[in-house]
Amino acid sequence: MAEEAHSQVIDQVVQEALDKAYMTEKDLTAVAVSIGPGLSLCLRVGVQKARRIAGGFNLPIIGIHHMEAHALVARLIEKDLQFPFMALLISGGHNLLILARDLGQYIQLGTTIDDAIGEAYDKSAKWLGLDLSRSGGPAIEELAREGNAKSVSFSIPMRQHKDCNFSYAGLKTQVRLAIESKKIDAKIPISSASYEDRLSRADIAASFQRIAVLHLEERCERAIQWALKMEPSIKHLVVSGGVASNQYVRARLDTVVKKNGLQLVCPPPRLCTDNGVMVAWTGIEHFRVGRYDPPPPAEDPEDFVYDIRPRWPLGEEYAEGRSEAR
Ligand code: ATP
Ligand code: FE
C-alpha cells in the first residue's frame, strides 16, 4: 500500500515543487534522492523517479541518508553551525544521538534499543482516543497542556544503564496500563468525552510527555559531557526529526543544552518532520565537496539494480564506487 501511495503521487509532487520554484528540470544542477534507511519499495519509487530526471536531463545524482538530512538541514537555517556538532534525531523510527565530526563523518553515541519516542507518542495518542488527522505527536502535545504532569507516576527508562541509549517500549506499556486502569475507552473520541474523562486523559498525556522528555534530557546531558571531552570545540546541539517540532521538547532541551555551555539549534517544525528541502540541502552539501554519481543512462536497463540501502546505520560510509570527482 505504501509503495502504491508513493507511486501515485511522486510525479505530481515533483511537478508541484518545480512549479512553486518557477523552474523546470532544465534549470536543475543535480538531483538528490533519499536512498535509505526505510522501506525498500518506497525508496525504490523515489530512486526510480530521480534516475528518470537525472537520466533525461543529463544531471549528476546524489544518494542521501534520510537521517543525515534530518541533521544537516539545521545548517541551512543556522549559518554559524559548523562541524563538529552534536545532534539528537527524534522521529517516528529513530532515536539517535550523534557526533557529527565532518560532512559524512558521524559517530553514533546512542540509539534506541527498541522503539523511538515518536512511536511512543503515536501509540499513546491512539490509545487515548485522540484525533490522529495530523499525527499522534501534536495531539498529545496539545492535550498535555490541560493535564497535571505529575499526576501519574511513570518510571524513567534505563536509569541503571549509564550510557546514551534510549528505550521507549517500557514507557509505552506503562501508558497502556494506566489507560486500562483508568477505564479509558479509546473508542470514545476525546471530543465526546466527559469533563472528568478528558481530564484523566490529559493527565496521562502530560505525565507521559514529562517522562519521555526527561529520558531525552538525561541522555543528552551525559552525551554532551562525553563528547566535549573528545571534541572541546563543539558549540551546538541540533535537535531535529518530527518530535523536535514539539514546543515542550524544545524548551526542556534548551535548558539542558545551555546549562552545559552549548547552544540549541532546532529547525522550524516544517523542516523537522519529513520534507524534501532537507534532502535537497544535504545534496548541496555533498555536491559542493564533489561527492556525487555521474548521470545515469537516459533509459535504465531492465535489470538495473537500484542502489538503495533500507538498513543503513548513520556513520557507515556512503556506498563504494561513488565518484569523488572534483
Ligand atoms: P524516520 O525519520 O525515523 O524515518 P519518519 O520519517 O516517519 O521517521 P518524521 O516525519 O521525521 O518521522 O517524524 C514523524 C514523527 O514525529 C511521528 O511519530 C509524529 O508523531 C512525531 N511528531 C510530529 N510532531 C510532533 C509533536 N508536536 N510532538 C511530538 N511528536 C511529534
Ligand atoms: Fe524522517
Instruction: Dump pLDDT digits (tens) for 119-175.
Output: 999 999 999 999 999 999 999 999 999 999 999 999 999 999 999 999 999 999 999
State mean pLDDT over 17-40: 97
Please, which pLDDT band fits residue 49 given cuts at 50, 70 and 90? very high
Give the residues surrounding ligand 1 with Cβ less than 6 Å away: 66, 91-94, 118, 121-122, 135-138, 141, 241-243, 245-246, 273-274
Please name which ligand lies nearest the alpha carbon of 38.
1
- Predicted pLDDT at 319: 57
For 39-73, b/e burial (b = at least 16 CB within 10 A) is: eeebbbbbbbbbbbbbbeeebbbbbbbbbbbbbbb
Which residue, by CA, sits nearest to atom 3 of ligand 1? 93
Rounded Cα distance, 252 and 206, in Å? 14
Which residue, by CA, sits nearest to atom 8 of ligand 1? 92
Q: Ligand 1 centroid to 290 CA: how many Å?
A: 31
* Whether the Cβ atoms of residue 113 and residue 168 lie closer than 8 Å to each other: no
Q: Ligand 1 centroid to 274 CA: how many Å?
A: 8
- Predicted pLDDT at 305: 79
State mean pLDDT over 93-113: 97
Please, which pLDDT band fits residue 321 given cuts at 50, 70 and 90? very low
Which residue, by CA, sits nearest to atom 6 of ligand 1? 274
Residue count of the chain = 326
Cα→Cα distances 33→80, 112, 280, 306, 318, Å: 26, 26, 8, 12, 13
State mean pLDDT over 88-115: 97
pLDDT at position 324 over 50: no
Q: Is the dihedral of CA 128, 131, 133, 137 positive or negative?
A: negative
* Whether the Cβ atoms of residue 168 and residue 119 lie closer than 8 Å to each other: yes
* Whether the Cβ atoms of residue 189 and residue 178 lie closer than 8 Å to each other: no
The residue whose CB lies within 8 Å of the most ligand 1 atoms, and thus the one to mutate among 91, 111, 127, is 91
Atom of ligand 1 nearest to the CA of 136: 20
Rounded Cα distance, 128 and 179, in Å? 7
The residue whose CB lies within 8 Å of the most ligand 1 atoms, and thus the one to mutate among 135, 166, 210, 240, is 135
Atom of ligand 1 nearest to the CA of 125: 20
Rounded Cα distance, 184 and 178, in Å? 9
Cα→Cα distances 48→42, 273, 297, 298, 308, Å: 10, 23, 12, 12, 10
Burial class for 216, CB neighbours closer than 10 Å (0-12, 13-18, 19+)? buried
**3-state class of 324 per DSSP?**
coil
Atom of ligand 1 nearest to the CA of 94: 3
Q: Ligand 1 centroid to 24 CA: how many Å?
A: 31
Q: Ligand 2 centroid to 298 CA: how many Å?
A: 30
**3-state class of 112 per DSSP?**
strand
Q: H or E segment at 297?
A: none
- Predicted pLDDT at 300: 85
Q: H or E segment at 288?
A: helix 276-288
C-alpha cell at 279: 534532502
Q: Ligand 2 centroid to 71 CA: how many Å?
A: 10
State mean pLDDT over 10-37: 97
Rounded Cα distance, 222 and 211, in Å? 17
Q: Ligand 1 centroid to 88 CA: how many Å?
A: 13
Q: Ligand 2 centroid to 66 CA: how many Å?
A: 7
DSSP assignment, residue 51? H
Cα→Cα distances 16→25, 60, 258, 302, Å: 12, 22, 40, 28
Q: Ligand 1 centroid to 95 CA: how many Å?
A: 11
C-alpha cell at 288: 559542493
Average pLDDT over the chain, rounded to whole? 95
- Predicted pLDDT at 36: 97
Rounded Cα distance, 314 and 317, in Å? 8
- Predicted pLDDT at 44: 95
Count CB neighbours of 322 within 10 A. Answer: 16
Atom of ligand 1 nearest to the CA of 38: 4
- Predicted pLDDT at 302: 79
Rounded Cα distance, 95 and 166, in Å? 7
Residue pointed to by grid coordinates 552534536? 86
* pTM (predicted TM-score): 0.95
Q: List, for residues 221-275, the tens digit of each pLDDT value.
A: 999 999 999 999 999 999 999 999 999 999 999 999 999 999 999 999 999 999 9
Instruction: Name the nearest CA neighbour of 70 among 209, 217, 270.
Output: 270
- Percentage of the chain surpassing pLDDT 70? 98
26 Cα distance to chain centroid? 31
The residue whose CB lies within 8 Å of the most ligand 1 atoms, and thus the one to mutate among 39, 40, 121, 134, is 121
- Predicted pLDDT at 323: 38
- Predicted pLDDT at 147: 98
